Structures are given as C-alpha cells and as structure tokens.
Amino acid sequence: MDLNIQLKDIFRSIAMCDKCGVCTFVTKDNTPRTVCPMYEYDKSFVFQPNGLMFTARALLQGTEEYDRSVAEFVFSCADCRACDAKCVPVPYPKPHVHPTEIIKIMRRDAIDKGLIPKGPMEAMAKAVNEDGDLLSKAAPGMPEGVVSEKADTVLYAECFHSPAQVGIYESAGRLLQKMGKQVSLFSDGGCCGSSLYDFGFWNKLPKLVQSKWEKMEKNTDKTFLFINPHCQEFVAKQYSDIVPGFKGVKMEHFSEFLADALKEGTLKAKKTDRVEVAYHDPCALGRGLGIYDAPREVLAGLSGVDLKEMNGNKDASFCCGSRALGKYHPEFSKETAKRGIERFNETGADILITACPYCKQAFQGALPDQDKNKVMDLIEFVEVRTA
C-alpha cells in the first residue's frame, strides 16, 4: 500500500460498509461460526470490522475527532484478516483496500498525531523513535557447518523481538544440520518492517526497508527461506510499494522447505510414540500467504502423527489475538488466545502446532506453566520427530 495514502483517498471504500456483518462469520457444515475474534469477544456493533469502518467514516466526515480513546480502539483489532477474506463491498472500489488496510491507515494517523496506546505500544514507540527500528538481540548462532556464504539459500533471520522466535530459530538450525543443508544468513538485528507497518510507524519504513533491501539485493539469485510468516508476507507484499526499483526475490516458507525435504528423503521421520496434534493456521501464513497445505503435508510425512483439524481452520482459522495491542477491551488479547485454546481442546489432541512465533507465544501465555509444552512450533515439532 502507498505509504502516503489518506482516508480521503479511499472514501468510497469506507462508504461501501453498510453494517452487513458478513465479515464476522463463516459457515461450515451448515453451522455459522464467528471468525472475527473481536466479535467473538464482544457481540456488539462497535467491536468488529464494521465498527472500525464506521469510525473511519466519522473521522473522515469530521463527526468524530481523533483522540486517545479512538487510538486505543483502532489498535485493538488483532489484524487477523478474517474480515478481508470475507468482505466484498469495501475492497470493491479502487484502489481496492481491504478493511484491515483501512485500520492500518488509521493507526498510522494515530501514531503521526502522537496518540500512542498505553502498554506495549508505548515501549514500541519509544524504541522505534530512538532507533528507527525495532531492534533486538542478534540471531542466535547456527550449529557448526550450517552457515556458508556460498549456499544457494538465505535464511531470513530478523525480528527476534519475539522471544518465541529464538527457540524456533535454534530448532531450524539443528534441522538444517541434520539435513546437511547449508545456508547464508540475513540478519540485521532488527525488524523486517512488518511490525512497524502493522502498528503505524510508517514514517520510519522508507529508510528502514531501503537499507534492508540494499543488503538483500546482493542475493537476488538465491532463495530466501523464512521462519516468521509476518516477515515473508511483508517482503512479498509491501517491499514493492516502498522500495523504488524493487525486483523481488525468490521466497520459501520453512514449512514448504520441510515438506519438500520429507518428500525427497533429505529429512527422515523417526519412529516414535503416536500423538494427536491440532494445527493452528497462522493469519500471516494462511490468509496472508495462502500457505495451508505445506504444514499439513509436513505433519502427514511424520511417523505416528494424527492431525485433528480444528473447527475453524485454514481460511476460517480463529486468531491467536497476539497482534491486538490497544486497550479498548484490556483483556481481549489474552481472552482470544484462551478461546483458541478452547478450540484446540475441542479436538482432544495432545499438542497444538502452529507456524508463527507470535501465535506460539500467545497460546503458551494462555496456558498454565505445566501445560505450556503442549504448544509447539512446527519446526520444533519436526526436530523431535525426525532422525
């Protein structure tokens, strides 16, 4: 999306929202079920995509002023994009923006006005404004023999501001070592740009993304391998709008890489105890990148693993809540993760697998300490189930 876009540029899209509410549910097996986590939490007109679209309309018409309460509200959407997959009228007119993109424009406006929601957003704003990036500790080291500058694959190792990413990354390293697969590393010790984009720090993006691209550009003949689907989606969808002359890069998600490795036999399943697992489709990987099959192929390629599909999977996956940082409903994020756990419990499976560090962190946070190991990233799970 053009970083300079204004609400007035998309007034037709905003006007197309007529409160229909189709964006909030999906129907499977003759049973409608709420897919919008906001509406699931608070069944009202306000706390759902329609409410946010009508807030945009009020701001545009001047019947509402931007203030802190509005900012808390627009940052309370979990950005799961379930509404984007359902809504037809809003993206109908040019330039075809989806509801969550309109929400991101409102977030950008809030940040530009200095209206920072309380809590994690304040810390993020402080860090971003000081460094121009969301810096974190550098990527952990890879096992011996894995890193080679001559490798045809680049492991994209950014966004370690999510603590869960560290463990997943370490597992990925050990899997690469098992396979004898060499990679070079792309690691800047910061954010790929997706969090700055999602949370409104658009004024920092041109410089940050340009700087990343200058380093990535040297490897455009190689395949970039992503662990965090938010990073991959951001590079795939936003770099071209931010970087003049962006040429694109070959990209692969780690789940796709593992699926191929199991099929080709470069990674071998280990015979071990039977286990029932449920797979949570992360928003960025599923609705964002359209990758639904690869993680399931990976699970099918392991020995003794039975996949129990959750009620609300693939494009109807229910959000983990982790990307809701506003405090319109202070407990919304945590409660949404708990509802995800409830859906997992309905399956009767032993382990909840996901493929995104934010989802893993959110679901683990919704469980007591003794049960946190019931949530694993796909990469971690594959590591223990392969020889």
CA-closest candidate to residue 78, choices 290, 339, 313: 339
Q: Does the protein bind other proteins through residue 330 (CB under 8 A)?
A: no
Q: Does the protein bind other proteins through residue 311 (CB under 8 A)?
A: no
Asked if 315 contacts 287 with a C-beta cutoff of 8 angstroms, the reply is yes
Q: Does the protein bind other proteins through residue 331 (CB under 8 A)?
A: no
Residues sharing a CB contact under 8 Å with residue 313, sequence separation 6 or more, in sequence order = 279, 281
By rule CB under 8 A, what string of x and - marks binding of each residue 364-383 to other proteins?
--------------------
CA-closest candidate to residue 91, choices 34, 15, 4, 27: 15
Q: Which long-range contacts (CB under 8 A, 24 or more apart) does 110-113 make?
A: 110/66, 110/70, 110/71, 110/74, 110/75, 110/200, 111/199, 111/200, 111/201, 111/202, 111/203, 112/200, 112/203, 113/66, 113/71
Residue 26, strand partner residues = 33
Report in angstroms how near the CB of residue 379 gets to other proteins at its nearest: 32
Asked if 122 contacts 116 with a C-beta cutoff of 8 angstroms, the reply is yes
- Per CB under 8 A, the list member of 2, 4, 31, 180 interacting with other proteins is 31
Positive/negative CA dihedral, 165, 171, 175, 181: positive
CA-closest candidate to residue 276, choices 342, 353, 341: 353
Report in angstroms how near the CB of residue 65 gets to other proteins at its nearest: 10
Helix (H) or strand (E) holding 298: helix 293-300
Burial of residue 332 (number of CB atoms within 10 Å: 0-12, 13-18, 19+)? buried
Asked if 98 contacts 11 with a C-beta cutoff of 8 angstroms, the reply is no
Q: Does the protein bind other proteins through residue 207 (CB under 8 A)?
A: no
Query: Taking contact as CB under 8 A, which single stretch among the options 65-73, 313-321, 346-354, 370-378 is the one that binds other proteins?
Result: 65-73
Q: Does the protein bind other proteins through residue 64 (CB under 8 A)?
A: yes
- Per CB under 8 A, the list member of 4, 5, 9, 27 interacting with other proteins is 27
Q: Which is nearer to other proteins, 43 or 126 (CB)?
A: 43
Q: Which is nearer to other proteins, 60 or 147 (CB)?
A: 60
- Per CB under 8 A, the list member of 44, 129, 220, 345 interacting with other proteins is 44
Report in angstroms how near the CB of residue 11 gets to other proteins at its nearest: 5
Q: Does the protein bind other proteins through residue 58 (CB under 8 A)?
A: yes
Report in angstroms how near the CB of residue 241 gets to other proteins at its nearest: 19
Query: Taking contact as CB under 8 A, which single stretch among the options 86-94, 209-217, 280-288, 376-384 is the one that binds other proteins?
Result: 86-94
Q: Which is nearer to other proteins, 52 or 191 (CB)?
A: 52
- Per CB under 8 A, the list member of 5, 24, 316, 366 interacting with other proteins is 24
- Per CB under 8 A, the list member of 3, 5, 79, 94 interacting with other proteins is 94
- Per CB under 8 A, the list member of 224, 254, 279, 328 interacting with other proteins is 328
Q: Does the protein bind other proteins through residue 335 (CB under 8 A)?
A: no
Report in angstroms how near the CB of residue 45 gets to other proteins at its nearest: 6
- Say how far apart CA 73 and CA 70 lie, in whole Å: 5
The count of residues interacting with other proteins (CB under 8 A) is 40
- Say how far apart CA 75 and CA 221 lie, in whole Å: 38
| First-to-last C-alpha distance (Å) of the chain | 44
Q: Does the protein bind other proteins through residue 46 (CB under 8 A)?
A: yes
CB count within 10 Å of CB 245 equals 7
Q: Does the protein bind other proteins through residue 70 (CB under 8 A)?
A: yes
Q: Does the protein bind other proteins through residue 9 (CB under 8 A)?
A: no
Report in angstroms how near the CB of residue 41 gets to other proteins at its nearest: 11
Q: Does the protein bind other proteins through residue 14 (CB under 8 A)?
A: yes
Look up residue 258 and give its amino acid. L
Report in angstroms how near the CB of residue 368 gets to other proteins at its nearest: 26
Q: Does the protein bind other proteins through residue 69 (CB under 8 A)?
A: yes
Residues 90-123, buried b or exposed e (16+ Cβ, 10 A)?
A: bbeeeeebbbbbbbbbbbbbbbeeebbbeeebee
**Tell me, what DSSP letter sits at residue 287?**
I
Q: Does the protein bind other proteins through residue 129 (CB under 8 A)?
A: no
Residues near other proteins (CB under 8 A) are: 11-12, 14-22, 24-25, 27, 30-32, 43-46, 50-51, 54-55, 57-58, 60-61, 63-64, 67, 69-70, 73, 88, 92-94, 328
